[in-house]
Amino acid sequence: MRLAVGESCCRGTQLLAFRAAAVETWGEIGWSEACDLLDPDTRETLLGRPIRPIAWVPESAMITLADAVFVGPAAKSEVAYREFVRNQVNCGFGRVRRFFLHLAPPEVVLDRAPALWRHDHTHGELVVDVRGRSAQVRLVDHAHATNEVASMTAAEIFRYVLSLTRARDVTSTYERLAERTLAVHLEWR
């Protein structure tokens, strides 16, 4: 797969977690339904050859895949799609870091979030401001802020990862700001 110079990318682990989560949530038929909705270029980029976990995958293709999952197997249900996103975290990020997350206070995870973001994404800056039992997380200069499903995905990932810590009853709201900035407000007890 050839990437354009300066193209925003994420790790191949994200694609692998998307597939595993779709299969866990809806079975192979759900994954096939989402893949059938992809345009030929995106299908070739994501499915044309095996993708290694450490490889870079274009964010634009992953956003197109997220839209296909939302429209296809999730049937445009936010509840169903958010369940899929939680499964995606469990199949990817959460699988590797589960032990650390269960022991960590939310503030520690939020403090490490920008570095974790940089490890898995070539673009965008994660800015976190913690105040007591709430946090404002801004994703600056990133494609997720240009797409509603991608914004919902990011907000649910942030909320769910925080709920895997010692934080309880984690809630989130999000708002797309400017052209490429997403703001996610998190609260917990």
pLDDT tens digits, 93-118: 766 677 778 889 999 999 999 999 99
Residue 56: per-residue pLDDT: 97
Per domain, the residue ranges of the chain are 9-93, 97-187
Average pLDDT of the segment spanning 119-136: 97
Q: Say what the pTM is.
A: 0.94
* pLDDT score at 118: 96
* Longest pairwise C-alpha distance within the chain: 47
Measured in degrees and rounded to the nearest 5, phi and psi for residue 98 equal -55, -50
**Counts for the chain of helices (H) and strands (E), in that order:** 8, 6
Report the relative pairing of strands 171-177 and 56-58 from DSSP bridges.
unpaired
Average pLDDT over residues 132-149: 97
